[in-house]
Chains A and B, each alone.
Chain A
């Protein structure tokens, strides 16, 4: 029995030591995986860690607030930084899941677009979402979102991001709604009916993806004839020699922001990282390899014209729609419910 007690005491001490050493741990950064995170590692994580003489560890994030909520509820904050979508940033900020950013500590603030400066997050990457296809297998290239719905001319599966977000907006624009009116229409019961009705003939052909890397694989393997996708994943694959194309007609653009989970042990370092990641030259380097948009207004000038032509900015988003976080925060639950029911019919 005494032996057992000793063993317990020793393991308790070992456990305490482990907890203590965790407080002096690496900077833990959670990102979206795939080539997106690969480029972030090269451009931001590694040089920043080398500059500071610290170690860093990466985690994969799949969206939503489940990790942030669990960390806040249990007090066991395992991430120092996470790159989140706008709607999750807003909800998480309102509920105290993310630290408020002390913008006075971020000298590069003045170079950022206003949408990037949020109470709990620093917008870092502008994401384009729209139609993508494989030019080798598609036949005639689609020229509008409406072509996505033409299964006579382009038979085959259609890839959609799982859940209603982005999809219903793209559906309405395909149905002829002007980008400026999309959320007005979608806010009415008739508008919602219209979106579901337009999507109905495609129901049997839909395939939903959860991770941004999936539509790229599906297009490359010809598993889908067309898909909605994030722009840079497609262009990055194209730059690697895959025959993929992104259509810059009625794309949706949204902002991914760096946020710090409340109580993160390395929050000072995380704040320094946020300033580091908003540097124009670094953003330009990132967007050259991963052609998402920049939030530093000086960054596009530092890119080659060819590289700058691939990002969701300027002419590319002239027919585009800025994703409304507020709309989905208020209506997301109800529409997701209807979406699930519709998919399950």
Chain B
């Protein structure tokens, strides 16, 4: 092994810290989310006898009933309650069935008929199907519920109407993200242009305005929009005072309110990268194109704009990806039809205590963002939108 020089040791030591931080703060939680999405240990580990029984045959018979009772007897009261709650996520009523059966397990004879006599639901194949599926260590029930795809009797997948709810919410999340991105770019581009090319005073004013809003808490800015847009809010008051509208408009608790507030919150993330790129575009190039006979519009479109696209891409990309994870702002300014995937992730964690579903929905979002970044990179390569070609496209 070649001896490392002191400087190399120092470099490696310096590198170790960020790598460890990255592993601990990013990859480890990600791995645990991945595990949560399919892990069924909380159930499977508590049903060893039943699990072994189902390994031999799937039929709910006397042996299966005996195994079930053995497992229930071995569990503590609190463990039965948790197992019941997890079953209940798949089929309503399972919780009380497990708790009641478990509580009386010592008095029930280990036969299927005795079990069915205790509670007739144990005679239903659907109940046994849910039990059988969930004593396995890996579960796909969260993925099935999130995609709406259920295994059909023929071996393929089927989707019942209404089961695509989370796919539709995912689509909505992307649509809102795109709406917000488009708006921030439309509003941000002229502002960034002014900040990059205007007089010293204009630059200072625009930058100050952008940074002030950047430094203000997200909640404060969101609440400010509620005050502005609500029924008796400032905007409606102004419009009615000007006699432009006879009665207040619904500006909040709908898509309009959500998109406007999100656009404002995210605007600095679009403007700042655009300013950075625009400042690197030499003013002499635009002047040269003008002196060579191009009008202001042609000169802007053919010389300036192509070179600024890199900033647009960075700003727009940042806004879009940040927008996908938004939660508080649409919750306070949007309606029920404008809630994004994060709202449902939080809802599953908090109200449902269903961390499996929350994990699956988080993975959905992550996979989509990664897919988008990858396809963006591929597109850029296909169209040759690299730094040098953008510059050459501008000058050529």
Contact = CB atoms under 8 A, between A and B. Distances in A.
**4 tightest CB-CB pairs across the interface, nearest first?**
A94-B81, A96-B78, A334-B92, A341-B165
Contacts of B331: 210
A240 to B, nearest CB: 18
A208 B330 CA distance: 12
B74 interface: no
B82 A330 contact: no
B353 A66 contact: yes
26 contacts: A63-B351, A64-B351, A65-B353, A94-B84, A94-B99, A95-B81, A95-B82, A157-B250, A163-B347, A207-B336, A208-B336, A221-B230, A221-B231, A222-B232, A222-B248, A223-B253, A329-B95, A330-B95, A333-B88, A333-B92, A336-B351, A336-B352, A341-B163, A341-B165, A344-B165, A344-B168
Contacts, number: 90
B356 to A, nearest CB: 12
Interface residues of A, number: 36
Interface residues of B, number: 42
Contacts of B349: 66
Contacts of A66: 349-350, 353
Contacts of B77: 94, 96
Given A96-B76, A96-B81, A221-B230, 9 more contacts: A64-B351, A96-B78, A157-B253, A163-B347, A207-B253, A207-B336, A330-B93, A341-B162, A344-B337
Given A163-B351, A208-B336, A222-B231, A330 B78 contact: no
A69 interface: yes
Contact of A223 (B84, B163, B252, B344): B252
Contacts of B95: 329-330
Contacts of A344: 165, 168-169, 172, 337
A331 B230 CA distance: 36
Given A94-B78, A223-B252, A333-B92, A207 B350 contact: no
Contacts of A336: 351-352
Interface in A314-345: 326, 329-338, 340-341, 343-345
B350 A62 contact: yes
B340 to A, nearest CB: 11
A206 interface: yes
B107 interface: no
Contact of B230 (A206, A208, A223, A343): A223
A344 B337 CA distance: 6
A95 B344 contact: no
Contacts of B82: 95
B350 A340 contact: no
